[in-house]
Amino acid sequence: MRKNFGAQTWLYPMPVLIVGTYDENGSPDAMNAAWGGIHDTNQIGVCIDPSHKTAKNLLAKKAFTVSIGDAAHVVECDFVGLVSGNKEPDKMAKSGLHTHKSEFVDAPMIDELPMTLECRLVSYDPATGCTVGEIVNVSADERILDADGKIDPKKFEPITFDPVHHLYRKLGPVVGTAFQDGKKLI
């Protein structure tokens, strides 16, 4: 038997996307978005309501970054989702997060978050907040790389948002190999 919950924006997993932008004066901002995902080849989609400072910023600069929330910075990632950059001018200072400018786009990298997508704005729909960015570069801090120079999820510890319980969860153990396990049924 199934239980119906009605219309809900629930998915497992949901990401913790920390969207970084500069305002017209070059001051950095960051916000936390769970609504988003890979949109198309080399594109990411993130839902950012027009009321957010981030929306104004990315329209001004035509660029944004998406850093992935990690277990070491749960408090900081949650904070940038709780506090509005429109209301709190010292948001970034209070967050404890530090930034430097991306080599590729006019948007800030967050020093503390070890994996970032650097994006050029492709389109923004003010009716839905749907923000599409071309992923120009993905970078990762060397401290989360394995011996082969690949991102190691065990060192990285990316977090996920649980939309039913409002909790952050880490990733867990490997349970299968993609493009491989299904061959058992061919």
Tell which positions 109-148 bind its own copies, by CB under 8 A: 109, 115-117, 128-130, 134-142, 145
Q: Please select the residue that binds its own copies; options are 59, 81, 112, 155, rule is CB under 8 A.
A: 81
Tell which positions 3-62 bind its own copies, by CB under 8 A: 3-15, 17, 34-45, 47
Pairing mode, if any, of strands 28-33 and 99-101? unpaired
The C-alpha torsion from 171 through 52 and 57 to 11, rounded to 10°, is 30
Q: Taking the complex as a whole, how short is the minimal distance between the CB of residue 173 and its own copies, in angstroms?
A: 6
Residue 175 interacts with its own copies (CB under 8 A)? yes
Which is closer to its own copies, CB of 68 or CB of 121?
Answer: 68
- Residues 101, 83: Cα–Cα separation, whole Å: 22
Q: Both tokens of residue 5?
A: 């919950």
Q: Taking the complex as a whole, how short is the minimal distance between the CB of residue 123 and its own copies, in angstroms?
A: 11
Tell which positions 144-173 bind its own copies, by CB under 8 A: 145, 149-151, 153, 156-162, 164-173
Query: Which residues does 157 contact at the CB level (< 8 Å), separation at least 6?
Result: 70, 71, 72, 170, 171
Cβ neighbours, 10 Å, residue 94: 13
Residue 105 interacts with its own copies (CB under 8 A)? no
